[in-house]
Structure 1
Amino acid sequence: MISMASEKDPLGRMPRPLTGRFQADYADKAVQDRVANVTIAVDGIWVTHRPQEAIVGRVLTYRLGNLGRVPKTMDGLCMGQQSQSAKSSTMERVKQTLMQEAIDAGEEPNPFQTIIVGLDQKTSLKSVMQDVLIEMKDPDWDYGTEKQLKQRIKNFVPLLGVELIIIDECQHLGKGTKSDDDKAGVVFSDVTDALKRLLDLKIAPIVLVGNEDAAVVFKRNQQLRVRLGLPLELPALRTALDPEAILLRDFITAFATQLKTSGAVAVEPNFTHETILDGIIEVAGGYVGRIARFLKNAAIHASARDAVTVEPYDLSCVTRGYAIDSKWITTDPFSKPHGKR
């Protein structure tokens, strides 16, 4: 019989922790408090990444081009990207940028200037409009016919100063396909047609965002698709294949610095070592959204075991317990093959 100790880990030999414990003791109140504080700290981290800022800039330009006028036709924007590629955080950045512009101008920021709604799997024409009205703080968001809801949105936009409506998780619009029942197909048609009609009514500039399945959804309604122009893109960057992959190195380096300045770690992590840098990019598939999630989870893991910084051990643990389970990767680049020193 082979003992557990003699069995080889199929993912390789994990790095050993240099500081702190092997595992966290969440029964310890000090651990609970420390991890809670670090979680808050890492959630506040934002690292400027030029491809993301370019998308923010394009959305702001689109909004500016429709500001204070009624165009003959109002087109929209669309973005269909891989999950965890930083789509939602980029759209949130749009909202925060506009609010900061108001503050810098000495004005009171308008929380309704940018409306962001997220669709769910039970999306219908009526629920889309209700979600928009909820964000507009309409106390009667659940009352009225579809026609009445649409009219209320139209009335609220100038009243609240709404300048941009961003609809996220648009992949849920595609739950009704040709292989599904007829009712699902009708729902899909109604909702996408409604989005087109919102553009027809010139109520407000609209940005449609979703994962890679959303790109298929946009194409299925050709009348809507031709109104969305060139898609917003935030492609993966890879060290060996992309000449702009240096942007990922800069992003990861800046993230390490912010982990220290935010108080999430006591010592700034060394992510610039070639094997560590390449490992982080490999795990995340070159997507900055995934890199941010991965490093935030690694920082929380390090704090839970009272380490002074994020170590290769934490990166390995999060790869195994988070990234592999999320199907980002099937290997652990931070572990060494057995027999290799």
Structure 2
Amino acid sequence: MDIVSRIRVDHEDYVAVRDEIIEAYDAIGYTATPIFLLIIGESRTGKSSVVREVLETYHPRQADERTIRTVVYAVAPAKASVKGLLESLLKGLGDPLWSKGTISSMTMRLHTLLHEVECKLVILDEFQHLCGRGKAALLADWLKVLLESSKFGLIAVGLPESASVVAQHKQLKQRCDEPLCMPTFDWTDKASVAQFRAVLMQFQKQLHPFELPNLASREMSLRVFLATAGRIGLVAKLLDRAVRMAIRQKRLEIRLEDLASAYKRAIWGASSFPIPGGPFLAALEDLEGRGVREAVFANAAAEPVADQSSAVEVHRADLPQEPTKRGAPKGSLRSKGSRGSDKSSRKASGELRGVL
């Protein structure tokens, strides 16, 4: 039984980034300037979820005994080099000789294959790997050459330090749009808090028939926020572990104690939580004390894991879905930092009136 992995929350920042990618896709072949988007965000903020949705939307298809790949996905190798990047891209395109040849010959093969599969967008994940000392300039030069063809665009995805790869290269920076950010939720901002609570309410609805404490209440939303540092991917991971534990114990009720156990098992650095009892068993007044949020965010920033955020939607994959439309879908949630935040914060607050 896999419920949480089939849930995705389309909040405003998520929708804004997804729509920018779709607009870039549609512009290929009609624009005279290279398309280069940079998507940045801390680990577990939903970047991978956006990429997965785009890849599912523009999946490979067969035509005349050949495979059409309008979106090609590759991961920048941990020890980035031009050759390593070429190998990753050629392998993603299905080249059986992906590791063979000189940089020049591999680049020529890459261009040939991108045209053969009718590629429109190249998505390059873990872009921060290109920040290595002494390599960034060489890699940026190669990317600039790749972008000079307006027949396909580049979507770079990575941690915030990815921006330094672009910022330090004048010509690459001129080709890049303003970075798109997937932020964490901010407990000091009322609109952001309202959205976070509305997101939790949607999670709780989709987790039926499991019975949880009222996640959208002021107390529980603070506890979940501190447990996850306001990161959507970690909310999904926490709830996934709690559901799995309940299934294993053959019960539907998930208590505060169960969330505490799930937190200890699922969240890296749980033992470093600054208050005894952790986010779910400590007294509320202690959790609201000075310095607690700062310590939580410091621990989260030190999380040594790749960004493999769980897919988090307000849709259940086992239910019929409406086709994805541009812009925020009706009933989707809005957040700080993107267009329409005032209107959306009122909407989020309205959704919560019945549960406070």
Q: Normalising to structure 1: TM-score of the pair?
A: 0.73
| Conservation of the 8 A alpha-carbon contact between 2:35 and 2:152 | no
Segments of structure 1 that go 5 or more residues without pairing to the other structure are 1-36, 103-109, 177-184
Among candidates 234, 240, 245, match of residue 290 of structure 1 = 234
Residue 31 of structure 1 corresponds to: none
Residue 311 of structure 1 corresponds to: 255
SS of the residue corresponding to residue 277 of structure 1 reads helix
CA distance in 2, matches of 1:296, 1:248: 18
Tell whether 2:110 aligns with 1:166. no
SS of the residue corresponding to residue 26 of structure 2 reads helix
Equivalences for residues 222-261 of structure 1 within 5 A: 222-260=170-208
Q: CA RMSD in A?
A: 2.8
Tell whether 2:52 aligns with 1:92. yes
| Conservation of the 8 A alpha-carbon contact between 1:154 and 1:203 | no
Among candidates 209, 218, 226, match of residue 157 of structure 2 = 209
Structure 2 letter corresponding to 1:155: T
CA distance in 1, matches of 2:175, 2:284: 55
CA distance in 2, matches of 1:327, 1:83: 19
In structure 2, the CA distance between the partners of 1:314 and 1:196, relative to structure 1 (3 Å rule), is farther
**Cα drift, residue 61 of structure 1:** 0.7
| Conservation of the 8 A alpha-carbon contact between 1:85 and 1:287 | yes
Equivalences for residues 12-161 of structure 1 within 5 A: 37-38=1-2, 41-66=3-28, 68-69=29-30, 71-99=31-59, 112-161=69-118
1:297-328 deviations in Å (ceiling 9; x for gaps)? 33223333334143322321233344351799
CA distance in 2, matches of 1:245, 1:328: 24
CA distance in 2, matches of 1:251, 1:339: 24
| Conservation of the 8 A alpha-carbon contact between 1:133 and 1:141 | yes
SS of the residue corresponding to residue 175 of structure 2 reads coil
1:222-256 deviations in Å (ceiling 9; x for gaps)? 32222211111122223441424322222222222
**Cα drift, residue 284 of structure 1:** 2.2
Residue 200 of structure 1 corresponds to: 148
**Cα drift, residue 170 of structure 1:** 1.0
1:282-308 deviations in Å (ceiling 9; x for gaps)? 222223233222322332233333341
Aligned length: 279
Percent identical across equivalent pairs? 23
In structure 2, the CA distance between the partners of 1:318 and 1:222, relative to structure 1 (3 Å rule), is farther
CA distance in 1, matches of 2:171, 2:267: 38
SS of the residue corresponding to residue 254 of structure 2 reads coil
CA distance in 1, matches of 2:23, 2:285: 56
Tell whether 2:281 aligns with 1:335. yes
Q: Normalising to structure 2: TM-score of the pair?
A: 0.70
| Conservation of the 8 A alpha-carbon contact between 2:73 and 2:124 | yes
